[in-house]
Amino acid sequence: MILPIAKLPSKVLRKETEEIVFPLKKDIKRLVLDMLETVKKADGIGLAAPQVSKSLNMALIYLTESGVPPFMLFNPRIIKASKQTVEIEEGCLSMPGVFGLVERPKKITVEAEDLEGKTITLTDDGWIARVMQHEIDHLNQTLIIDKFKNITKGEELLTKYSEKK
Ligand SMILES: [Zn+2]
């Protein structure tokens, strides 16, 4: 089922997320499938549960166009980040049309649980690292609007997404 995507200023994007416990409950397994369908339909490259109005500590990385099979991160934490940073233009499905430069560590190591509850460790310094950091930010109620160095596109949409109303 395709789920509606929460957009700013929706408060759910700023709500604390709940840890995922294993074995996964039926409704979480269903949510994984729904998130897959939703990100595909939205033409996204990642989706965090709060973006589909679920305050749960889980996110989907969907970089199939870069040849990476889709994978889930449950309770992810960044355990290592490089001093070297890179500035890359990012957008967000929760703020469509707005793009800006975001500075982040180039290389990170993430620890998370997989679908079976097994702890996995992932290290990357390319797109996967980028998208994982963006999604983990969502799980910690941080949005790119908090991090923009400058806006490259869609500045006129900012009033629409403003949380100060
Ligand atoms: Zn986002």
Q: What is the pLDDT of residue 108?
A: 98
Residue 4, in any domain of the structure: no
| Cα–Cα distance measured from residue 30 to residue 7, given in angstroms and rounded to the nearest whole number | 22
Mean pLDDT of 82-110: 98
Task: Tell me whether residue 156 is one of the annotated catalytic residues.
Answer: no
pLDDT-above-70 percentage for the chain: 99
Task: Give me ligand 1 centre to Cα 86, in Å.
Answer: 18
Upstream peptide bond of 76 is cis (omega within 30 degrees of 0) = no
Task: Give me ligand 1 centre to Cα 133, in Å.
Answer: 10
Residue 165 has pLDDT above 70, yes or no: no
Task: Out of 135, 155, 156, 163, pick the active-site residue.
Answer: 135
| Residue 65 belongs to domain spanning | 11-160
| Cα–Cα distance measured from residue 53 to residue 138, given in angstroms and rounded to the nearest whole number | 12
Residue 15 has pLDDT above 80, yes or no: yes
State the DSSP H helix or E strand holding residue 35, giving kind and residue range, or none if neither. Answer: helix 26-42
Task: Give me ligand 1 centre to Cα 135, in Å.
Answer: 6
State the DSSP H helix or E strand holding residue 31, giving kind and residue range, or none if neither. Answer: helix 26-42
Q: What is the pLDDT of residue 164?
A: 87
Q: pLDDT-based confidence at 57, cuts 50/70/90?
A: very high
DSSP 18: B
Task: Give me ligand 1 centre to Cα 91, in Å.
Answer: 7
Residue 97, in any domain of the structure: yes
CB neighbourhood size of 92 (10 A): 26
Task: Give me ligand 1 centre to Cα 47, in Å.
Answer: 7
Q: Are strands 85-90 and 119-124 parallel, antiparallel or unpaired?
A: unpaired
Residues measured by CB to lie within 5 Å of ligand 1, the ion: 92
Mean pLDDT of 85-98: 98
- The answer to whether residues 133 and 125 touch, using CB atoms and an 8 Å cutoff, is no
Total number of domains constituting the chain: 1
Average pLDDT, the chain: 97
Residue 3, in any domain of the structure: no
Task: Give me ligand 1 centre to Cα 22, in Å.
Answer: 26
41 backbone dihedrals φ, ψ, rounded to 5°: -65, -40
Residue 32, in any domain of the structure: yes
User: 95: which strand partners?
Assistant: none
Residue 73, in any domain of the structure: yes
Residue 68, in any domain of the structure: yes
Residue 149, in any domain of the structure: yes
Residue 65, in any domain of the structure: yes
Q: What is the pLDDT of residue 70?
A: 97
Kindly report, residue by residue over 112-153, the tens digit of the pLDDT: 999 999 999 999 999 999 999 999 999 999 999 999 999 999
CATH number at residue 88: 3.90.45.10
